[in-house]
Amino acid sequence: MIARIWHGTTREADAGAYLDYVQRTGLQEYRATAGNRGVYVLRRTGRGKADFLLISLWESIEAIRGFAGDDIEKAVYYAEDKDFLLELEPDVTHYEVLVEP
């Protein structure tokens, strides 16, 4: 299994609306992609900002390509992300999952 990790930051006041938006866009697309094994959404707020960390789990690199395209290291963004995110980080990271619950 492979973990795909993405990070983004919004204004703290936008955190709830952004979570709703992510559920309608990225999370819905994750779940619709063959080989997706789930996703964790983590949020940390403070000092006027909200940091989001999405950890999506995938059966294989090929499954990730089904979601992200050929350049799996490139972050996937949706139309309104630019309205919420303070920066569009260009890359994601991948880790091999060695131990799982």
Q: Which domain holds residue 14?
A: 2-96
Residue 22: pLDDT over 90: yes
Give the CATH number for residue 6.
Answer: 3.30.70.100
CB 92 within 8 A of CB 5: yes
Q: For position 78, what pLDDT does the model report? A: 96
Please count the structural domains in the chain. 1
pLDDT digits 0-9 by tens, 51-94: 999 999 999 999 999 999 999 999 999 999 999 999 999 999 99
pTM comes to 0.94
Q: Is residue 101 part of a domain?
A: no
Residue 101: pLDDT over 90: no
For 24-29, the CB contacts below 8 A with 24+ separation are 25/78, 25/80, 26/54, 26/76, 26/78, 29/67
